[in-house]
DNA sequence: GATTAGGCTTTG
């Protein structure tokens, strides 16, 4: 599998915190503090300094306005008139794509962006025109830092060139090239949306110094849990290690109980009395983090406890690292700043190091074991009172319980919500009897609510064994007989945190639950219900095999020889790394959607992976080398010239300097390998039709050398080969032998560490129990039945991948229409970019078996994204 | 500016 670390890619969330402009020596200088958020780490960096200004924020100062003598040209007119002088012209557009900053040499950069015209000239019908813009040098660097997608920019001082990617991207036949002192970009940014983490300040006119507006907010200090002094009122942060949902106290309030801890390892009990439920801590599970303001420290039984006091407020957060930091609170105004954010991050990181988080937050019905106590996240479908101390809740979570679920029969017309469901759905519904104090909270619940029920007990055995035989008329009647049935009880009292909580619709857990539920097709439910044989139930507690009404063949097969039974994704997630699993799943989604981005270059030596540069970038690398300086050629090289016929007045015929290997010439193989100097990318490609191997070279310091290794070092027909910048030690030599000249031989002669084309995709798999992100990488070629090298060079290979993905995951198709895949997965540990260990999954030894679609795989017409470079 | 509870060793 190699040693490449593949982790879920971290997206760099980037936003400008503030921009300040100074007038400095009569030149405008733009200082931008930008904040980067990367996983759990935050840092600031300052870009821009007292250098001449190249990228300017409009409205920031007098010099930042577009000079009045410049006139704007519509993007559609760029390049239409060969005589146009663009030195006094501008082009305006919105940044719709922004490429990475590519480093060419230590202080030279290149960056590609696409801008789209927004308002000029107004056009109702077709799409607004857009154009590629290539920026060079410090301008590229500044642009990379200062401009975001969505910004509106005005470019001036540009040159216009033919776009080498026009055939591919159909964007614009020309592009804008910005380099040198004259080039400038003016930026204006739409006003930022309000920060959702900073709710508007309270309208209360209260003089409370507390949770006011951000500007007036006082500095809060937080007391560590080993530093609590009895009698004081403090603010504190903690990780929840135990909690009880709010329950009615004997007094006037609801009471909730927390036990929290922090880096001091002290465990401190905390009691909250509030009349209103919404003012209580919104804690959903152990590991949640709470911030408490104004709690009184009391000594009880020789330990410190916390009780809320006047002005009390609480925020709660999810516990796992990397999750969103969205405070849960009913308060409409609260103080919240970067320091709070950092504190939560630190507690999360500490929590994970202490293994305080439960491995499995809640147990799905599919994993419920007889007699076990567990927490359940589910949706309420219906409820019915049984008697004054017992209420029936009918719930489901989209998973299938391994045991038959008992249906409790209730009197007619007492059920809130549907009294029965389709046969298939019924088989997925669990009956929960809630007792005593929980009856009162059940009254508040509405069918459709998403619930978490704490300390639920699975009651096993036959209905008779539970005293619920059909002849019994006591509390409920069960229609099922047998020994393999389950019913659930929520016992009275609040011991062990027993209780019911309604989860907010926007919570992560509810989103996850919905995904699982949506993956259960109606037909499948009915299909399931036919199979009530206990042996079959055992089998069918694993993912459904053919849930669609019209059974579809499985679209992939495993070629491995592991002797292991398929598991559900939820089971797989509960087991550790270092194992191989078989799963039967559907493809829910995949990345990248633009399939050409799945193609990467991989160095087997340093194990680094990089993107394949696009033609715009390559074209600029070639064009930079047009004017070669004088050069001493190596003694083995025979020099000559080759004529490249032109195809238009813009591209006249040119003769270029070529160098041949004496050894190959003597072997009568003059066309096997040429070293070509000063060619453009286009010319190189054209010559590649006539020469087997072309190595583009340039003169540097009076000697012949390769171009920058961002460019291919070798062209072989339509194939291009790249070298690793880190691992190559370039010297231009002729190959040793003459028998076979291929990319390996050439690379070896040139001291180039050859990069390999690979395919890398992230697939989101799903079954009835869960979803899972997996990588398709080392076995991607055998999965698709194509080589990555072919994908880089030929349309048929690209079509094959596109069609395979379309058939596994049809656009706009429902889950029911997606084929099922038998896959072999391996689970392994890898470090993410923040240095945190996480479990990753990779598809191994699995192959798509069916032709991807009914359309011909040899079709040469491609629509939409292809993997063309 | 009172009162509530102060986990738990698990009924139906």
What is the nearest nucleotide to A489, using C1' and CA? B12
Q: Is residue A243's pLDDT more than 60?
A: yes
Q: Contact, A697 vs A706, CB < 8 A? A: yes
| A410 SS3 class | coil
Contacts of residue A324, defined as CB under 8 A and 6 or more positions apart, other chains included, come to: A318, A508
Q: Contact, A238 vs A292, CB < 8 A? A: yes
Closest residue by C-alpha to C1' distance, nucleotide B6? A300
Closest residue by C-alpha to C1' distance, nucleotide B4? A251
What is the nearest nucleotide to A298, using C1' and CA? B6
Residue A493 CA distance to nucleotide B9 C1' (Å): 15
What is the nearest nucleotide to A466, using C1' and CA? B12
Structure confidence at residue A864 as a pLDDT band (50, 70, 90): very low
Higher pLDDT, A199 or A838: A838
Q: Which residues have Cβ atoms closer than 7 angstroms to strand B?
A: A 241-242, 244, 249-253, 255, 257, 259, 269, 271, 273, 298, 300-301, 305, 307, 310, 373, 389-390, 435-436, 455, 457, 459, 467, 475, 489, 491-498
Residue A310 CA distance to nucleotide B1 C1' (Å): 8
Element (H, E) at A424: helix A423-426
| A325 SS3 class | coil
Closest residue by C-alpha to C1' distance, nucleotide B8? A496
- Dihedral pair phi/psi, residue A106, rounded to 5°: -55, -40
Buried b (16+ CB within 10 A) or exposed e, A734-759: bbeebeebebebbbebbebbbbebbb
Residue A58 CA distance to nucleotide B5 C1' (Å): 61
Beta strands in A320-471 (DSSP E): 373-387, 390-396, 404-405, 408-409, 430-435, 450-459
Residue A244 CA distance to nucleotide B3 C1' (Å): 20
Closest residue by C-alpha to C1' distance, nucleotide B3? A251
Buried b (16+ CB within 10 A) or exposed e, A477-494: bbebeeeebbbbbbbeeb
Q: How far are the Cα atoms of A212, A465, A649 from residue A482, in angstroms, in the given order?
A: 62, 9, 89
Q: How far are the Cα atoms of A505, A582, A782 from residue A558, in angstroms, in the given order?
A: 39, 9, 11
pLDDT digits (tens, 9 = 90+) for A51-72: 445 677 654 444 467 788 888 8
Q: Is residue A843's pLDDT more than 60?
A: yes
Residue A272 CA distance to nucleotide B3 C1' (Å): 13
Closest residue by C-alpha to C1' distance, nucleotide B2? A251
Closest residue by C-alpha to C1' distance, nucleotide B10? A495
Report residue A14 as tokens.
């980037």
Higher pLDDT, A604 or A513: A513
- DSSP state string for A627-673: SPPP-BPPTTEEEEEEEE--SSSSS--EEEEEEEEHHHHHTT-TTSE
Residue A456 CA distance to nucleotide B3 C1' (Å): 31
Q: How far are the Cα atoms of A24, A62, A95, A259, A292 from residue A309, in angstroms, in the given order?
A: 53, 54, 52, 17, 11
Closest residue by C-alpha to C1' distance, nucleotide B9? A496
Report residue A402 as tokens.
């391994």
Residue A196 CA distance to nucleotide B3 C1' (Å): 38
Closest residue by C-alpha to C1' distance, nucleotide B11? A491
* Dist. CA A29–CA A33, nearest whole Å: 13
Contacts of residue A567, defined as CB under 8 A and 6 or more positions apart, other chains included, come to: A542, A575, A581, A582, A583
- Dihedral pair phi/psi, residue A843, rounded to 5°: -80, 130
Q: What mean pLDDT do residues A530-543 have? A: 30
**What pLDDT score does A8 carry?**
30
Report residue A822 as tokens.
């038998």
pLDDT digits (tens, 9 = 90+) for A636-652: 888 888 877 777 777 77
Residue A10 CA distance to nucleotide B9 C1' (Å): 44
- Reference A492, options A449, A465, A457; nearest CA is A457
What is the nearest nucleotide to A475, using C1' and CA? B12
Q: Is residue A106's pLDDT more than 70?
A: no
Residue A272 CA distance to nucleotide B2 C1' (Å): 16
Q: What mean pLDDT do residues A172-194 have? A: 77
What is the nearest nucleotide to A241, using C1' and CA? B7
**What pLDDT score does A125 carry?**
54
What is the nearest nucleotide to A267, using C1' and CA? B7
pLDDT digits (tens, 9 = 90+) for A483-510: 578 999 999 999 999 999 999 998 889 9
What is the nearest nucleotide to A434, using C1' and CA? B12
* Dist. CA A741–CA A212, nearest whole Å: 74
**What pLDDT score does A40 carry?**
24
Residue A492 CA distance to nucleotide B10 C1' (Å): 10
What is the nearest nucleotide to A372, using C1' and CA? B10
0.85 exceeded by pTM: no
- C-alpha neighbours within 13 Å on the C-beta side of residue A395: 29
**What pLDDT score does A355 carry?**
86
Report residue A695 as tokens.
């190595």
What is the nearest nucleotide to A389, using C1' and CA? B12
**What pLDDT score does A770 carry?**
79
pLDDT digits (tens, 9 = 90+) for A418-459: 999 998 899 999 999 999 999 999 999 999 999 999 999 999
A33-42, A143-152, A784-793, A798-807: least confidently modelled range: A33-42
Higher pLDDT, A653 or A469: A653
* Dist. CA A548–CA A555, nearest whole Å: 14
- Dihedral pair phi/psi, residue A847, rounded to 5°: -135, 140
User: Which alpha helices (H) appear in A785-833, and where do they start and end?
Assistant: 788-793, 795-808
Residue A560 CA distance to nucleotide B6 C1' (Å): 58
Contacts of residue A68, defined as CB under 8 A and 6 or more positions apart, other chains included, come to: none
Residue A260 CA distance to nucleotide B7 C1' (Å): 12
pLDDT digits (tens, 9 = 90+) for A591-623: 887 777 788 888 888 878 888 888 887 888 887
Provide the positions of strand B that have an atom within 7 A of a protein CB.
1-12
**Torsional sign, CA A372, A375, A379, A384:** positive
Residue A203 CA distance to nucleotide B5 C1' (Å): 34
Q: What's the angle, vertex CA A67, arms to CA A65 and CA A72, rounded to 5?
A: 105
| A743 SS3 class | helix
Residue A495 CA distance to nucleotide B10 C1' (Å): 8
Residue A269 CA distance to nucleotide B4 C1' (Å): 16
State percent of chain A over pLDDT 90: 29
- Between β-strands A673-677 and A703-706, what pairing exists: parallel, antiparallel or unpaired? unpaired
What is the nearest nucleotide to A436, using C1' and CA? B12
* Dist. CA A22–CA A39, nearest whole Å: 33
Contacts of residue A572, defined as CB under 8 A and 6 or more positions apart, other chains included, come to: A581, A583, A772, A825, A827
What is the nearest nucleotide to A468, using C1' and CA? B12
Residue A440 CA distance to nucleotide B4 C1' (Å): 18
Beta strands in A287-397 (DSSP E): 289-300, 303-317, 373-387, 390-396
What is the nearest nucleotide to A299, using C1' and CA? B6
* Dist. CA A682–CA A107, nearest whole Å: 27
Residue A269 CA distance to nucleotide B7 C1' (Å): 9
**What pLDDT score does A69 carry?**
84
Preceding amide of A121 cis, omega within 30: yes
pLDDT digits (tens, 9 = 90+) for A344-353: 999 999 999 9
* Dist. CA A269–CA A306, nearest whole Å: 6
- Between β-strands A130-136 and A174-178, what pairing exists: parallel, antiparallel or unpaired? parallel
Report residue A49 as tokens.
């300094």
Residue A465 CA distance to nucleotide B11 C1' (Å): 15
Report residue A547 as tokens.
């849930």
Q: Contact, A865 vs A595, CB < 8 A? A: yes
Q: Is residue A82's pLDDT more than 50?
A: yes
What is the nearest nucleotide to A244, using C1' and CA? B7
Contacts of residue A263, defined as CB under 8 A and 6 or more positions apart, other chains included, come to: A224, A346, A347, A350
- Reference A237, options A323, A357, A347; nearest CA is A347
Structure confidence at residue A17 as a pLDDT band (50, 70, 90): very low
Residue A646 CA distance to nucleotide B6 C1' (Å): 91
Closest residue by C-alpha to C1' distance, nucleotide B1? A310
Cα A227 from chain centroid (whole Å): 40
What is the nearest nucleotide to A467, using C1' and CA? B12
Report residue A144 as tokens.
């990379």
What is the nearest nucleotide to A494, using C1' and CA? B7
- Running DSSP on this structure, what letter comes out for residue A331? -
- Reference A315, options A216, A211, A409; nearest CA is A211
- C-alpha neighbours within 13 Å on the C-beta side of residue A106: 0
| A707 SS3 class | coil
- Reference A584, options A570, A571, A569; nearest CA is A569
Residue A496 CA distance to nucleotide B9 C1' (Å): 10
Q: What is chain A's alpha carbon radius of gyration, rounded to the nearest angstrom? A: 33
Residue A274 CA distance to nucleotide B2 C1' (Å): 14
**What pLDDT score does A856 carry?**
36
- Reference A134, options A804, A793, A693, A617; nearest CA is A617
- Reference A850, options A869, A830, A822, A824; nearest CA is A822
What is the nearest nucleotide to A309, using C1' and CA? B1
* Dist. CA A490–CA A498, nearest whole Å: 7
- Dihedral pair phi/psi, residue A597, rounded to 5°: -75, -10
Question: Tokens 């030894």, residue?
Answer: A845
Q: What is the average pLDDT value for chain A, to the nearest integer?
A: 77
Contacts of residue A122, defined as CB under 8 A and 6 or more positions apart, other chains included, come to: none
Neighbours of A449 (CB within 10 A): 19
Q: Contact, A555 vs A819, CB < 8 A? A: yes
């Amino acid at each position: 599998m190699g040693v490449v670390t593949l982790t879920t890619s971290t997206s760099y969330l980037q936003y400008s915190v503030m921009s300040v402009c100074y007038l400095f020596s009569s030149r405008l200088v733009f200082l931008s503090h930008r904040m980067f958020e990367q996983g759990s780490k935050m840092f600031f960096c300052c870009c821009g300094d007292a250098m001449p200004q190249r990228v300017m924020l409009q409205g920031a100062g007098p010099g930042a306005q577009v000079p009045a003598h410049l006139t704007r040209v519509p993007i559609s007119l760029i390049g239409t008139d060969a005589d146009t002088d663009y030195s006094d012209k501008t082009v305006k557009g919105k940044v719709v794509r922004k490429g990475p900053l590519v480093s060419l040499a230590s202080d030279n950069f290149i960056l590609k962006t696409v801008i789209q015209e927004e308002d000029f000239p107004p056009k109702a019908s077709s799409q607004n025109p857009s154009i590629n813009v290539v920026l060079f040098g410090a301008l590229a660097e500044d642009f990379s830092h200062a401009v975001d997608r969505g910004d509106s920019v005005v470019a001036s001082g540009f040159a216009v060139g033919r776009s080498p990617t026009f055939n591919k991207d159909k964007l614009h036949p020309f592009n804008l090239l910005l380099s040198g002192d004259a080039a400038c970009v003016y930026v204006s940014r739409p006003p930022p949306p309000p920060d959702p983490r900073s709710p508007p300040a309270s309208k209360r006119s209260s003089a409370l110094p507390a949770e006011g507006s951000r500007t007036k907010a006082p500095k809060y200090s937080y007391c560590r849990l080993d530093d609590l002094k009895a009698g004081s009122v403090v603010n504190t942060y903690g990780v929840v290690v135990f909690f009880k949902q709010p329950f009615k106290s004997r007094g006037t309030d609801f009471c909730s109980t927390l036990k929290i801890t922090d880096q001091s390892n002290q465990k401190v009990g905390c009691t909250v009395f509030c009349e209103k439920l919404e003012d209580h801590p919104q804690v959903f599970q152990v590991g949640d983090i709470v911030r408490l303001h104004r709690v009184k420290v009391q000594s009880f039984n020789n330990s410190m406890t916390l009780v809320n006091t006047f002005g009390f407020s609480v925020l709660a957060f999810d516990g796992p690292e990397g999750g969103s930091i969205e405070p849960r609170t009913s308060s409409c105004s609260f103080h919240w700043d970067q320091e709070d954010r950092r504190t939560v991050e630190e507690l999360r990181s500490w929590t994970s190091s202490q293994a305080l988080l439960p491995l499995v937050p809640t147990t799905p019905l599919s994993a419920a074991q007889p007699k076990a106590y567990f927490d359940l996240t589910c949706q309420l479908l219906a409820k019915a009172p049984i008697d004054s101390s017992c209420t029936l809740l009918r719930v489901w979570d989209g998973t299938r319980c391994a045991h038959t679920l008992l249906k409790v029969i209730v009197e007619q017309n007492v059920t809130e919500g549907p009294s029965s469901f389709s046969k298939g759905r019924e088989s997925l519904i669990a009956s929960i009897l809630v007792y005593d104090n929980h009856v009162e909270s059940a009254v508040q619940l509405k069918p459709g609510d998403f619930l978490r029920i704490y300390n639920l007990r699975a009651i096993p055995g036959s209905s008779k064994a539970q005293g619920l035989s059909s002849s019994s008329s006591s509390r409920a009647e069960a229609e099922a007989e047998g020994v393999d049935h389950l019913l659930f009880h929520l016992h009275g009292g609040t011991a062990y945190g027993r209780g019911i909580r309604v989860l907010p619709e926007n919570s992560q857990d509810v989103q996850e639950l919905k995904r699982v539920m949506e993956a259960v097709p109606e037909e499948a439910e009915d299909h399931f219900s036919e199979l009530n044989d206990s042996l079959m139930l055992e089998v069918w507690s694993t993912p459904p095999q053919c849930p669609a009404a019209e059974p579809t063949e499985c679209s992939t097969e495993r070629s491995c020889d592991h002797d292991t039974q398929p598991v559900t994704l939820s089971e797989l997630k509960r087991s550790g790394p270092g194992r191989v699993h078989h799963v039967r799943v559907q493809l829910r989604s995949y990345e990248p959607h633009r399939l050409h981005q799945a193609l990467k270059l991989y160095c087997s030596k340093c194990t680094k992976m990089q993107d394949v540069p696009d033609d715009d970038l390559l074209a600029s690398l070639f064009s930079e080398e047009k004017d070669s300086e004088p050069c001493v050629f190596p003694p083995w090289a025979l020099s000559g010239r080759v004529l490249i016929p032109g195809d238009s007045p813009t591209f006249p015929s040119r003769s270029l300097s070529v160098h041949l290997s004496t050894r190959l010439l003597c072997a009568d193989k003059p066309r096997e390998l040429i070293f070509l100097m000063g060619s453009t990318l286009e010319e190189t490609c054209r010559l590649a039709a006539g020469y087997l191997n072309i190595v583009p070279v340039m003169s540097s310091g009076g000697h012949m050398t390769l171009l920058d290794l961002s460019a291919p070092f070798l062209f072989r027909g339509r194939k291009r080969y790249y070298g690793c910048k880190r691992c190559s030690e370039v010297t231009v030599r002729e190959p040793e032998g003459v028998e076979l000249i291929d990319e390996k031989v050439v690379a070896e002669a040139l001291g180039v560490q050859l990069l390999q084309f690979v395919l890398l995709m992230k697939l989101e798999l799903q079954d009835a129990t869960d979803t899972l992100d997996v990588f398709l990488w080392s076995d991607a070629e055998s999965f698709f039945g194509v080589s990555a090298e072919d994908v880089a060079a030929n349309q048929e290979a690209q079509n094959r991948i596109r069609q395979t993905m379309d058939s596994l995951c049809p656009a706009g198709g429902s889950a029911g229409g997606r084929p099922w895949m038998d896959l072999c997965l391996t689970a392994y540990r890898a470090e993410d970019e923040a240095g945190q260990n996480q479990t990753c999954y990779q598809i191994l030894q699995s192959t798509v078996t069916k032709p991807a679609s009914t359309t011909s795989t040899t079709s040469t017409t491609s629509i939409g994204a292809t993997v063309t470079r």
